[in-house]
Amino acid sequence: MKIAIIGYGRMGREIEKMALDHGHEITAIIDNETDWDNKRDVISGADVAIEFSMPAIAVKNIRRCFEAGLPVVSGTTGWTDSFEEIRKICLEGEHAFFYASNYSPGMNIMFELNKNLAAFMSKYPDYRILVEEIHHSGKKDSPSGTAISLANEIIRHHTVKDIWVNRPSKSPNELEIISIRRNQVPGTHFVQYDSEIDSLEIKHTAHSRKGFAYGALHAAEWLAGRKGCFGMKDILYDEK
């Protein structure tokens, strides 16, 4: 498979290494406007683009890939206020787009556990709910896209919470997300239900970025030949 990498930060470099180890070819690396100017013709020869860039330029990058006729796998977080815009362009143009806030297989299993746990815990409103995320100090968005995904699923399936806030809160309807930044932390996400009688917790700890790179590469392979908008649930329930 011929891959164009859009965004050459920590994740871009990890994806490049893993892709080459798996026998794929990197046809272009796009990391700035000059790269877009100089490599626009080259990128159209790829089979798929894997995009891990910055929130401020993610939408522009995705649109450019669509214009080049490329399927896109995106893992950039912090831009999803524009998700419906991208979804509309994808579907109307018959493109292929895959998005996940977190590509770790283990994290996506936690998403499913989190959703079901929130539904169960709706019956026990005395429990205080907390979402905590810890990432490396260079992460630009706060809270993380993964923490937002966890919080939104809790709100969707829990009868008490109807909004998340990125700070401590004692308001019954507000769901706390606590964001912590430390050096050399790939990503830790923690959901806790706490009461006077006991506590219940689910937690995912990434040991390195390899799991994210593996998931993104697997998504790129899975996306081949498909049209439409997809996410990790499509892979989780399509494994054969």
Structure tokens at 3: 């891959």
Query: Which is catalytic among the residues 24, 95, 139, 158?
Result: 139
Asked if 186 contacts 206 with a C-beta cutoff of 8 angstroms, the reply is: yes
| CA-to-CA dists, residue 4 to 65, 152, 212, angstroms | 10, 31, 17
User: pLDDT truncated to tens, each residue of the chain (240 aa)?
Assistant: 999 999 999 899 999 999 999 999 999 999 999 999 998 888 888 999 999 999 999 999 999 999 999 999 999 988 999 999 999 999 999 999 999 988 988 998 999 999 999 999 999 999 999 999 999 888 878 899 899 999 999 999 999 999 999 999 999 999 999 999 998 888 899 999 999 999 999 999 988 888 889 999 999 999 999 999 999 889 887 754
CATH code where residue 154 lies = 3.30.360.10
For the sheet containing 72-74, what is the strand order?
A: 25-30, 2-6, 48-51, 72-74, 96-99, 228-230
158 catalytic residue (yes or no)? no
Residue 12 shares a structural domain with residue 80: yes
- What pLDDT score was predicted for residue 239? 55
203 catalytic residue (yes or no)? no
Residue 119 shares a structural domain with residue 185: yes
Residue 222 shares a structural domain with residue 198: no
Residue 75 shares a structural domain with residue 116: no
Residue 155 shares a structural domain with residue 169: yes
Residue 126 shares a structural domain with residue 189: yes
CATH code where residue 21 lies = 3.40.50.720
| pTM of this prediction exceeds 0.85 | no
Query: Which is catalytic among the residues 17, 39, 123, 135?
Result: 135
* 202 C-beta neighbours (distance < 10 Å), count: 14
- What is the extent of the structural domain holding 224? 2-99+210-236
**What domain count does the chain have?**
2
Asked if 111 contacts 153 with a C-beta cutoff of 8 angstroms, the reply is: yes
